[in-house]
Structure 1
Amino acid sequence: MPTTFTAPDGLPLSYTVWEGDGRYRRPVVLHHGFAADADVTWVRPGLVDTLVRAGFTVIALDARGHGASGKPHDPAVYGEAVMAADVSALLDELELPEVCLAGYSMGAIVSLLVASNDRRVRCLAVGGVGAGIVDFGGVDARELDREQIAAGLLAQDRADVLPAARPFRRLARRAGADVEALAAVLRAPSPGPIRLSALSVPTLVLAGESDQLAAEPERLAAAIAGARLVRVPGDHMAAVAHPAFATALADFFAYSDTGEFRPAISSPA
C-alpha cells in the first residue's frame, strides 16, 4: 500500500514498498518519467514484479506533481534538483544506508543528480535519455520543447496540440494526471549541467532503439566512467515496457550487489 512522507519543503510525497526475499542487501529505488507515475512506469509494465521475483525489495516514489504525491501549480516548487532532494529525503525517511537507483526519462535526470551527490547510491541505471544529458543537462532540447509540451497539456482542443506533445497528453490521461501541475513541472528551472564526472558507481544506460529522446546513448555512457550501454526495442514510450528492459535492470542490479555475473531471473516478466 502507498505510504506518505513529508518532503523538506513540507509537500506530501507518496511511495510504495514491495518486499523481496532478502537475498540482496540493497533495495532498488525507482523514479518514473514525466506525466506518468510509479504505477504507469514501473508496475503496469511488470518491472516491479520482475525485480521482486528476482529477490529485490523495491521502493517506487511518485514524484511531486505526479501520482498520489502533492501537486502544487507553482513552477518554483519543481525542477529535477528539487526532485533529487526528495529522493535523498526518502532515503533518510527509510533509514537506508545504501541503494540501487533507477530512473526513466525525467526520472533518469533526477537519478543522475542524486547519484552525483548522495553516496548512498551504490549502483545506478538510467533509461530514456542519451546525449541530451551531455549537451543540455537534461532531455534532448533538439527533440523536445518544454513550453510546447506544457501548452499541449493545457490545450482545450486537441486540434491545438502539436504532434510532439500528443504522446505526453495521452500519457497524462492514462495516469489521471493534474495537467496544471505537469505544466508547472515543465516550466520549472532546469538543473543545469550534471556532474557526470562525479559518478563513480556502476552505471547502466538503457535506451530504446527508436527513442529519439535518447539519441546517441553511447555518448552518455562514454561520459560516465565504466558505464555499460544496453539497447532494447521500442521508442520513448514503449522501451521501458519491453521485457528486455526489466531483465537487463534485474541482471545489472544483481551483478552490482553480488559481484557475480549471472541472470537474476530465469525468464523475462
Structure 2
Amino acid sequence: MGSDGMKQFDSAGVDIAYLDTGAGRVKPPVLLIHGFASNVETNWVNTGWVYFLSKAGYRVIALDNRGHGQSQKLHELTDYGAPLMAEDARRLLDHLSIARAHVIGYSMGARIAAFLALAHPERVDHVVFGGLGINMVRGLAGTGPIARALEAESIEDVSNPTARTFRAFAEQTKSDLKALAACIRSARAPITAEMVASISAPVLVAVGETDVIGGSADELAKIIPGARAITMAGRDHNRAVGDRTFKAEVLAFLEGR
C-alpha cells in the first residue's frame, strides 16, 4: 500500500492501482473511473469527490486505469480499449467482493462505465456519465493528432491546439506518454445509440456547458429511457469535474431524490 493510500491488485496479469476508502454506511459503494491522461488523484481526490462522497456515507473505490497513474504501463495497442478496461473495473469489484456498485465515470471513464453497465448489468446500480454527452455515440473525431502530440519529442513541436492541450495535461499528470499514445490509438470500440439505450441501470448524464469534447448531455439522455441530464453552467471539459452542482446532483441521483 502506497503512502498515499493506493493499493495494488492483479487484473488478469495487469497490475492495477486503486483507492478504497470511506466507512461505507450507505449501500452500495461508489466506483470512480477517471478520464484519459488523468488518474485517481487528479480526477477524484484533488477535485474533492472522494472527500465529498465519503462524507455522505459512501465507501469509495477508485482505480488508476491501465496505462495511467500508478497502474502498469502497457505499450501495445491490444492492451487497451474501453471494453478491456471495463473488465479491470469489474475484476476490482470481484477482488473487493463487491457485488454491486454505483459507477461514476468521467470522459474516457464514462465510456468505460458504459461498457461495464452493458457487459455486467447486475454489477451496476446507478451510473453517471460525466464529461461525455452525445459524443459517446458519435465518437471522438480524429484521435491521430492527439496520439502524435503525445509521441512528439517536445510539446514545442505540437501546433494543433486541442492536441497540445492533451499533451500539456499528460505532462502535468506526469503520465507515461507512450502508454497514453497506445491507449488512444487502440481500436475505439463503438457505442451505438441502440447499445446505450439498452443500459438497464438508472443513468445521469452531466456535462459542462462549454464542453466541446463531451457534447450535449441532453442529446445523450434523450436516447436512454429514463435518463436525466444536467449541464454545469459556464464549465468546460476540465473545469466541470469538480463543479459543486455536479456533486450535489450526483448525490441526489444516487439517493433517488
State the TM bucket, normalised to the shorter chain. Answer: over 0.9
Q: How does 1:78-157 map to 2 (within 5 A)?
A: 78-118=80-120, 119-136=122-139, 140-141=140-141, 145-157=142-154
Deviation string 1:165-208 (CA, Å, 9 cap, x unpaired) is 12211211221100010000011111123511221111100000
Candidates 52, 55, 58, aligned match of 1:56 = 58
Q: TM-score, normalised by structure 1?
A: 0.89
Q: How does 1:89-238 map to 2 (within 5 A)?
A: 89-118=91-120, 119-136=122-139, 140-141=140-141, 145-161=142-158, 162-194=160-192, 195-233=195-233, 234-238=235-239
> Percentage identity across aligned positions?
36
In structure 1, what residue type is equivalent to 2:130? G
Q: Distance in 1 between matches of 2:24 and 2:10?
A: 28
Contact 1:134 1:223 in 2 (8 A): no
**Are residues 107 and 21 of structure 1, via their aligned partners in 2, closer, same or farther at CA, if it must alter by over 3 Å?**
closer
Give 1:245 deviation, angstroms: 1.7
Structure 2: segments with no counterpart, 5+ residues: none
In structure 2, what residue type is equivalent to 1:232? M
Contact 1:50 1:250 in 2 (8 A): no
Which residue pairs with 1:11 in the alignment? Answer: 14
In structure 1, what residue type is equivalent to 2:9? F
Deviation string 1:198-237 (CA, Å, 9 cap, x unpaired) is 2111110000000001222212101111000011131111
Which residue pairs with 1:45 in the alignment? Answer: 47
Q: Distance in 2 between matches of 1:126 and 1:216?
A: 12
Are 1:25 and 2:27 counterparts?
A: yes
Which residue pairs with 2:6 in the alignment? Answer: 2
Q: Distance in 2 between matches of 1:210 and 1:158?
A: 25
Contact 1:148 1:165 in 2 (8 A): yes
Q: Distance in 2 between matches of 1:19 and 1:158?
A: 39
Q: Distance in 2 between matches of 1:193 and 1:20?
A: 35
**Runs of 4+ residues over 6 Å off in structure 1:** none
Q: Distance in 1 between matches of 2:24 and 2:123?
A: 21
Which residue pairs with 1:243 in the alignment? Answer: 244
In structure 1, what residue type is equivalent to 2:33? H
Contact 1:134 1:219 in 2 (8 A): no
In structure 2, what residue type is equivalent to 1:125? V
In structure 2, what residue type is equivalent to 1:201? A
Structure 1: segments with no counterpart, 5+ residues: 256-260, 262-269
In structure 2, what residue type is equivalent to 1:214? G
| SS of structure 1 residue aligned to 2:58 | coil
Q: Distance in 2 between matches of 1:159 and 1:34?
A: 21
Give 1:21 deviation, angstroms: 4.8
Q: Distance in 1 between matches of 2:191 and 2:208?
A: 23
Q: Distance in 2 between matches of 1:19 and 1:208?
A: 28
**Are residues 58 and 197 of structure 1, via their aligned partners in 2, closer, same or farther at CA, if it must alter by over 3 Å?**
same
| SS of structure 2 residue aligned to 1:25 | strand
Q: Distance in 2 between matches of 1:41 and 1:198?
A: 28
